[in-house]
Amino acid sequence: MNPAAAHSPLPPGATIGLVGGGQLGRMSALAAARLGYRCHILTREQDSPAAQVSAAVTVADYGDQAALAAFAEAVDVISFEFENISAEGLDLLAALRPVRPAPVVLRISQDRVAEKSFLNQAGVATAPWVAVDSEADLHAAVARLGLPAVLKTTREGYDGKGQAMLRRPEDLAPAFAALSPRPLVLEGFVDFAAEISVVVARGIDGAIAAFDTVQNHHRDHILDLTLAPAPIAPDIDAAAQAIARRVAEAIGLVGLLAVEMFITAQGEVLVNEIAPRPHNSGHWTIDACPESQFDLHIRSVAGLTLPPATRHSDAVMKNLVGPEEVALWPQILTAPGLIGHLYGKHEARAGRKMGHVTRLFPRGALPGPRAIAEALGPAAPRG
């Protein structure tokens, strides 16, 4: 593809290559289909959620260079729903086709130390942190940051995996033993008042569209409930939106990115992490917005103009996690007002995201927790 073609919009019928076969790829592929594109999925998994709804699939390991090259040759542009592809794999793909977001964006978000360094240099606040490579480093880091603190692997941690809470000095040795020899980072514990996130897209022309700030509730470290919009003060909302835009600009984003943030008891907004792909806390946009996060993902990757990320309704999104919650599907289908989404996963293991449910409310009419639980009926959060 010549450089000029790389910057013109992808024509209808073109093929978007998506690395990763999960539900984020599935919902991106559905959005791509509506915009007249085909998707080709690269995944390790047979019969993956994304491949079930896509035109083509390559089932291979992400380290299989020949498979990566053949995949790249078969598509017009490449994006991701799975971020942990190796640096060599990324370079190989980027040498053959436009990769959006660019490899540098993935490299930053793959590594918590690179991510926090980038954010702090961009003037974005995070929890205080110290890189940890040895047990001596850990003791020095705890002496600086104090306890409680959270020790995390710098790479490949998600949904609470690859991290340990340190409350007392006795916790240091077992936590270090469990997480090393991987590179680690110690973060000061944030006694947060709320967790929020913003999903932001940036087009090839630099135009930005950011969805409204949402509030997230986790259960067992896994996202359980998202409230859109977040019931937060306007100045905090404005700070969160400004941070998301700043991150998108500073990182040179072309694509879609989620910024996860903490609001501290003092009303400060700190970034926890960024994810350069559609995000679970943006699933509500499918039902509450004229164009969802998946539409904006595809539009930005395809070089199309971005529409404003407006919502026509307020919304609550509840994840369906594990066998117990997906077993509620028959009741969800018959409950008035519940909009169900299933991801086509065969095996409902504990902690696995199987689907989600959205409930819409008129704009400005998002109710309090009790009424939300009532409105979710059979899908109401447990405990």
Residues of this chain that interact with ligand AMP (CB under 6 A) are: 127, 150, 157-158, 160, 187, 189-190, 195, 218, 221, 272-273
The least distance separating ligand AMP from the CB of residue 272, rounded to whole angstroms, comes to 5
Reply yes or no: is the peptide bond before residue 181 cis, omega within 30 of 0: yes
Nearest 5°: phi and psi at 94? -70, -25
The least distance separating ligand AMP from the CB of residue 189, rounded to whole angstroms, comes to 4
The smaller minimum CB distance to ligand AMP, of residues 137 and 260, is found at: 260
Residue 184's alpha-carbon distances to 173, 176, 329, in angstroms, are 13, 9, 40
The least distance separating ligand AMP from the CB of residue 366, rounded to whole angstroms, comes to 21
The smaller minimum CB distance to ligand AMP, of residues 32 and 186, is found at: 186
The least distance separating ligand AMP from the CB of residue 264, rounded to whole angstroms, comes to 10
Order across the sheet with 15-19: list the strands: 56-59, 38-43, 15-19, 77-80
Is 380 within 8 Å of 342 (Cβ atoms)?
no
Q: How far is CA 305 from the centre of its chain?
A: 22
How far apart are alpha carbons 121 and 153 in whole angstroms? 21
Q: Tell me whether strands 15-19 and 77-80 are parallel, antiparallel or unpaired.
A: parallel
How far apart are alpha carbons 344 and 360 in whole angstroms? 23
Q: How far is CA 209 from the centre of its chain?
A: 16
List, in order, residues 6 or more apart from 279 with CB less than 8 Å away: 24, 197, 199, 258, 260, 293
- Buried-state track 195-207, b at ≥16 Cβ within 10 A, e below 16: bbbbbbbbbbeee
Order across the sheet with 129-132: list the strands: 129-132, 184-188, 149-153, 163-166
Q: How far is CA 107 from the centre of its chain?
A: 15
The smaller minimum CB distance to ligand AMP, of residues 273 and 287, is found at: 273
The smaller minimum CB distance to ligand AMP, of residues 138 and 209, is found at: 138
The least distance separating ligand AMP from the CB of residue 12, rounded to whole angstroms, comes to 37
The least distance separating ligand AMP from the CB of residue 125, rounded to whole angstroms, comes to 12
List, in order, residues 6 or more apart from 73 with CB less than 8 Å away: 96
How far apart are alpha carbons 119 and 230 in whole angstroms? 23
The smaller minimum CB distance to ligand AMP, of residues 191 and 235, is found at: 191
The smaller minimum CB distance to ligand AMP, of residues 62 and 189, is found at: 189
The least distance separating ligand AMP from the CB of residue 346, rounded to whole angstroms, comes to 26
The smaller minimum CB distance to ligand AMP, of residues 187 and 291, is found at: 187
The smaller minimum CB distance to ligand AMP, of residues 61 and 158, is found at: 158
The least distance separating ligand AMP from the CB of residue 158, rounded to whole angstroms, comes to 6
The least distance separating ligand AMP from the CB of residue 20, rounded to whole angstroms, comes to 18
The smaller minimum CB distance to ligand AMP, of residues 272 and 300, is found at: 272
Residue 123's alpha-carbon distances to 18, 115, 127, in angstroms, are 32, 12, 13
